[in-house]
Amino acid sequence: MSQFYQVFFDESEEHLAAIEAILLRIDPAAPPAEGIAEIFRAAHSIKGSAATFGFDDMATLTHAMENLLDRVRKGELALQRGMVEAVLAACDVLRAQLDAHRGSAGAADPQAAAVALARLQACGEVPAAPPPQGGHGDGLELNFVLSRVVAGSEVLIDSLFDALGELGEVRTLSRPPADAADGVWTLALRGCAAEERVRAALDLFVEPGTLEIAALAAPSAAAAMQPLPGEEIAADGSYGFFLPAPQPAALDDVPPVSPPASPPVAAEEGGRERTGTGHSIRVGVDKVDQMINLVGELVITRSILQEAANVVDPALAERLLAGLGLLERNTRELQESVMAIRMVPISRVFSRFPRLVRELADSLGKEVELVLAGEHTELDKSVVERVADPLTHLVRNALDHGLEGPQERLAAGKAARGRLSLSARHEGGQIVIEVADDGRGLDRQRVLARARASALPVDEGMSDAELWQLLFLPGFSTAESVSALSGRGVGMDVVRHNVDALGGSIELDSVDGVGTRVVVRLPLTLAIMDGMTVAVGRETYVLPLAQIVESLQVDAEAVHRIGGVARMIRVRGEYLPVVALGERFAVPGAERDWLRAIMVLVEAGGRRAALMVDALLGQQQVVIKSLETHYRRVHGFSAATILGNGEVALIVDVGALVDASRVQAELAA
């Protein structure tokens, strides 16, 4: 059965996410019936599958969840905030159990499961006078000795049964022989009678002090099941038939399928079916990746054909070129369609924040309104997965350090409730994600002081933008105390590193007392990139277009020398370190003369440098091939690609080169 586990894991995860999404939207005062029904169904579904696969821990918890929700659904219980919390807590435990079964985490904590279960059950006990269920079965076992008068009269014994019959279903488990007036009777009473009422009903009949009431021992499934009239139940209670049991012979008399009475109607309904939500298929990511790979190969093959066609006389090859043009368009569309399969809305990541923010705000004693925008903006699945951590960190930072407590806000003339906004949008082939708060903002003086304390080269005249860049340096933090929440040793440097690794960029913008805004720009996909091909000696390299600011040639005046050696160039008043790619990668025949070479200004992690190359060859979309997968990691390069002429070209890791150049420049200075 284990071959079906994966589907169960995926389904359960989706159900859990759906439950959380609904609960976080819900207004306990006016819960939408449809929402409750949906949560109930999700819990029910997990329970059924979990039990089938033998994941009893999950089945137990979802069973309790289902019971609670069923009562809410039927209007027996009013939805309360405590219930929402209890169900959310149970979801967390379920997720841990799911991870444990999947093997991606250690065994789930049984203590946590017990706590979550107790919480769910406690919610169900809110209404007054719950039936004394005793935890086992749903009945009571009564043991007593009849008073002498009653024992001698069948009429009185009958009225005893009548009295009990009003409270539930009575069955005699054992009775003393007729001649033993002081023998013990044992009755089973099923139903929801309260113990007090049973005592009151029996008061007249039993010898004082002999009545003992206990919960009925849990009956076996089959014994507990009373067959309905005309129902046949299997010995172990696992299935049953409503008699008369179907006669296979009779089935053969049924006429074969007759066509639907009115085909047009059926066809119409069929059409409606297809537009329904049920029409999707679940495909492994590896299959999609394989398609993307093949499309990538196709793009390369097309480029190879194009290069070959370029040397043919256009007059002769007119039809060939026309065909290639068509091929290009089709390839591009195919590529876009395949990429679209992997595109998922950023709401996958955003959806975790309402809860995180609420819990964090509660624990910090802050009031925060979270505003989400652009949740439907789509980006590649692999990017979504890797952007979750940096975004979570930014949100935590904003809550922890950015937003003030209600008192401080009121004193500063702001609303007591802080505002945190999270938005996403597409912009020029990139996705732009903004995390903004209206908190206290960054204090220039404190950042400067902290920088001086860390012996960083700063001065009063630095622009805000330059100053804020310092926050991204390893180990730089302006928080007065290391908070339990955002602390944990992960700082903005790690956020920047994560974003850089995705080929993105991060900017921070802050106004003292007004708020802070962090803008993260990411490529839509990690599989394809717009690149600039450059020549260095006889080598061809690719620079990510997104990191190129401009390209230029410098004159002698712009070259800044330190100790007689050319070190930097000055561009519009800014000194930039220069990385000569020919030297860096030891390429024979590369241009050494700074005045004849081309300087490509690049930016990574908010810092700039100039990369010196021989010539710019052109822009093109390149399919990214991982070096680690195909070869091994090479410092200074982030990946490789295959060019139109079939040659392999390395993609320059601009971030690493810029960092290295800064260190060298500082050492030299």
Partner 1 sequence: MTKHILAVDDSLAIRQVVGHTLRSAGYVVSEAGDGEEALALARSTRFDMVLTDLHMPRLDGIGLIEGLRALAHCREVPVIVLTTESSEQMRARGRAAGATGWMVKPFEPRRLLEVAARVLG
Please name the residues in contact with 402: beta carbons below 8 A apart, sequence gap of 6 or more.
Answer: 437, 439, 440, 441, 515, 516
Of the candidate residues 78, 149, 178, 228, the single one contacting partner 1 (CB under 8 A): 228
Of the candidate residues 137, 240, 405, 487, the single one contacting partner 1 (CB under 8 A): 240
Residue 11, interface with partner 1 (CB under 8 A)?
yes
Q: Which is nearer to partner 1, 75 or 278 (CB)?
A: 278
- For the bound state, the minimum distance from the C-beta of residue 238 to partner 1, rounded and expressed in Å, comes to 5
Determine phi and psi for 226, rounding to 5 degrees.
Answer: -85, 120
Whole-angstrom distance, CA of residue 518 vs CA of residue 521: 10
Taking contact as CB under 8 A, which single stretch among the options 22-30, 81-89, 190-198, 234-242 is the one that binds partner 1? 234-242
Residue 127, interface with partner 1 (CB under 8 A)?
no
- For the bound state, the minimum distance from the C-beta of residue 2 to partner 1, rounded and expressed in Å, comes to 11
Two tokens, residue 350: 């955003």
Please choose, from the candidates 228, 137, 144, 145, the residue with its C-alpha nearest in 3D space to the C-alpha of residue 190: 137
Q: Which is nearer to partner 1, 4 or 631 (CB)?
A: 4
Please name the residues in contact with 330: beta carbons below 8 A apart, sequence gap of 6 or more.
Answer: none
Whole-angstrom distance, CA of residue 488 vs CA of residue 323: 58
Residue 237, interface with partner 1 (CB under 8 A)?
yes
Give residues 341-400 in contact with partner 1 (rule: CB under 8 A).
none
Q: What is the dihedral of CA 605, 610, 616, 617, to 10 degrees?
A: -40
Which residue, chain included where needed, has tokens 């959380």? 20
Of the candidate residues 129, 245, 311, 556, the single one contacting partner 1 (CB under 8 A): 245
Q: Which is nearer to partner 1, 224 or 432 (CB)?
A: 224
Strands across the sheet with 430-437, in order? 368-373, 418-427, 430-437, 515-523, 505-511
Taking contact as CB under 8 A, which single stretch among the options 40-48, 359-367, 384-392, 548-556 is the one that binds partner 1? 40-48
In DSSP notation, 597-622 reads SEEEEEEETTEEEEEEESEEEEEEEE
HSE toward the beta carbon, residue 233, CA cutoff 13 A? 13
Contact at 8 Å (CB) between 168 and 193?
Answer: yes
The 3-state DSSP class for residue 326 equals helix
CA distances from 220 to 137, 192, 217, 226, 236 (A): 9, 19, 9, 12, 8
- For the bound state, the minimum distance from the C-beta of residue 539 to partner 1, rounded and expressed in Å, comes to 51
- For the bound state, the minimum distance from the C-beta of residue 157 to partner 1, rounded and expressed in Å, comes to 28
Of the candidate residues 21, 41, 464, 530, the single one contacting partner 1 (CB under 8 A): 41
- For the bound state, the minimum distance from the C-beta of residue 38 to partner 1, rounded and expressed in Å, comes to 8
Q: Which is nearer to partner 1, 41 or 607 (CB)?
A: 41
Taking contact as CB under 8 A, which single stretch among the options 35-43, 122-130, 507-515, 567-575 is the one that binds partner 1? 35-43
Please choose, from the candidates 206, 216, 200, 210, the residue with its C-alpha nearest in 3D space to the C-alpha of residue 140: 216
Residue 251, interface with partner 1 (CB under 8 A)?
yes
Of the candidate residues 89, 163, 184, 225, the single one contacting partner 1 (CB under 8 A): 225
Of the candidate residues 154, 182, 231, 583, the single one contacting partner 1 (CB under 8 A): 231
Give residues 259-278 in contact with partner 1 (rule: CB under 8 A).
260-261, 266, 269-270, 273, 276, 278
- For the bound state, the minimum distance from the C-beta of residue 13 to partner 1, rounded and expressed in Å, comes to 12
Q: Which is nearer to partner 1, 54 or 314 (CB)?
A: 54
Q: Which is nearer to partner 1, 245 or 556 (CB)?
A: 245
Helix (H) or strand (E) holding 663: helix 654-668
Q: Which is nearer to partner 1, 265 or 482 (CB)?
A: 265
- In 261-358, the DSSP E strands lie at 343-345
Taking contact as CB under 8 A, which single stretch among the options 237-245, 306-314, 384-392, 520-528 is the one that binds partner 1? 237-245
Strands across the sheet with 565-571, in order? 548-552, 598-604, 607-613, 574-580, 565-571, 559-562
Size of the site for partner 1 (CB under 8 A): 51
- In 61-150, the DSSP E strands lie at 139-145
The 3-state DSSP class for residue 162 equals helix
Q: Which is nearer to partner 1, 50 or 578 (CB)?
A: 50
Give residues 48-87 in contact with partner 1 (rule: CB under 8 A).
48-49, 51-54, 59
What letter does residue 225 receive in the DSSP assignment? Answer: -
Which residues would be at the binding site for partner 1 (CB under 8 A)?
Answer: 1, 4, 7-8, 11, 38, 40-41, 44-45, 47-49, 51-54, 59, 221, 225-226, 228, 231, 234, 236-242, 245-246, 248-251, 254-258, 260-261, 266, 269-270, 273, 276, 278, 282
